[in-house]
Structure 1
């Protein structure tokens, strides 16, 4: 981990009163559609786990194999989601599984309480426990199961040597144009492959340049990017930065967060891909930097309410008093 932080730069200041109280350091890369670096902060070659920011890459075999050919646009967005576990998410996954003749028990993502307050409160009032449908990765796992059925493979689709994960690793290494040196196990039990930050930015840059009608890979990339932008509420949920930023862009791009403060953006009209990593893993910092970078390259106006909220705050206390703000430090 020393390599991750050694070349990191200050990216976000947290200010209380008129004093900088905390600083978040990290790395960020902007690439064009050919994967060439346009601008960078910190060390572009730092090695990271992309975590959930790469779900659109993990979904490529679902489309390229033909397994997901008939999926709706909303289902494709759900395959790329880290959702809130609201009813629109859990019910959609349940229906998707039922259409395959499967159920919640076939998932291998594990269980946690839904992030959506209403869904959580409904469970508590009903005296019920959450299930795997509420897991933020259940849509991705439904896609894994669909691919596994198509391949005639076994039920343990999260194992690294399973045909599903072998197909994902191949797609991941092709999209990033580098061999992954290893993997870790993600929160949802699926393998997550190591890569360089600039390779991840290059991959989402290639997503940005992809157009339907230009081959199987570009078809899949373009469909997934469109799906995320068209159904931002399926990708995350109400009040989440991913959903709010994509709504603000009016479907003209896709953004995706990952655990431990990774964030990516796919911007077809600008021919740009963005990837960033905050070293200390703080979400408030990754959200601030992605919003600032979207503004910097013209995907969103700096005065957009979503951009202002994510990049500046304000920070409020328990009495709703303004106590501080953020300051994103990107240089000229």
Structure 2
């Protein structure tokens, strides 16, 4: 099948009112497809779901070791955080240690998603800075790698040594030559690949061993950092953070813009990648939760599972009017 298929449905009354179509792939350690929905060879931009791949050169170059990066910093390098104090204070200390400032970032500023931080800025009349950008942890990683490589200040340019290292890592681990790239919301180039390639890469992360060589060791450090610090990868109330906490075994999860999601299951040596075609986040969150249930690592009755999968929809009076649920293919 080459077309997206129904993965998530929004019910109101006795039938679906809206349907989210998409593609999803589960790969094993060999890179083979265990199960797939829609088109595994669909070419996609994985957006922020690829941050673990983008962070590999930070470790393999020796930059992380040279600058004494902690597991918290590695988690932030993979994060799409909310811009809360827990995130910005850590990124600030990180760049302070490099003798850099907010000016050195190339990610741009936006209001934080964290409600407390958002309210504090509004009430004080203070504009957000680039530390509040959800990708500031990734960019702190880029700046650290750039310091190690001795590159110029515009580290997001596609021909910059930092991005060349990222593209090399991306193509090596996906086992594909990227056909093109797009510019992400944080101004960094984002290589494209097939959904199969992304799932294959996540399965490689899942099967990596600390004793398997430098690159595999780096992969283990990254997924372990994510699992150890789920609150830094996203934030309270976010699907990545809540679902990682809810799983019955270590699972690293990462969302990406336009309804992308990946999962790394180290104990099962499986990798998952999914894309909702219409870019609807609610569809991707329900689909990834349903795949985790299907794989036996998430209890379908866990309160967090019920928040994203078979989740009741209520109106302004608190009356239940419908439900977000997996389509038949994932039920």
Q: Is the 8 A contact 1:45 1:198 kept in 2?
A: yes
Matched residue of 2:227: which SS? helix
Q: What's the secondary structure of 2:22's corresponding residue? A: strand
The CA deviation string for residues 147-205 of structure 1, in whole angstroms up to 9 with x for no partner, is 00000000100000000000000000001000001101000000000100000000000
2:37 to 38, 41, 55: 41
**4+ residue segments displaced more than 4 Å:** none
What is the rounded CA distance, in whole Å, between the counterparts of 1:266 and 1:6 in structure 2? 25
Task: Provide the aligned length of Structure 1 versus Structure 2.
Answer: 328
CA–CA distance in 1 between the matches of 2:50 and 2:295?
22
In structure 2, list runs of 5 or more residues that go unmatched: none
1:41-60 paired onto structure 2 within 5 Å: 41-60=37-56
1:304 aligns with 2:302: yes
- The 5-angstrom pairing of residues 197-276 of structure 1 reads 197-249=195-247, 252-276=250-274
Question: Which residue does the alignment assign to 2:193?
Answer: 195
Q: Secondary structure at the match of 1:109?
A: coil
Q: Distance in 1 between matches of 2:30 and 2:97?
A: 38
Q: Deviations over 1:92-139 (max 9, x none)?
A: 111000000101110000010000010000111111011100000000
Deviation string for 1:213-266 (max 9, x for gaps)?
A: 210110000000000000000000000000001111266110000000000000
1:9 to 5, 8, 14: 5
Q: TM-score, normalised by structure 2?
A: 0.97
Distance 1:229 1:283 in 2: 22
- How far off is 1:321 after superposition? 2.0
Counterparts of 2:121 and 2:295, CA distance in 1:
43
8 Å CA contact retained: 2:251, 2:266: yes
2:165 to 164, 167, 185: 167
Q: Does 1:322 align with 2:320?
A: yes
Instruction: State the Cα distance separating 1:18 from its structure 2 match.
Output: 1.8
| Residue among 123, 147, 150 paired with 2:148 | 150
Aligned to 1:94: 92
Matched-pair contact (CA < 8 Å) for 1:25–1:278 = yes
Counterparts of 1:282 and 1:88, CA distance in 2: 28
Contact 1:230 1:251 in 2 (8 A): no
Q: Secondary structure at the match of 2:63?
A: coil
Worse-matched range after superposition: 294-303 or 133-142 = 294-303
Tell me the TM-score normalised to structure 1 length: 0.97
Q: Greater CA deviation, 245-254 or 154-163?
A: 245-254
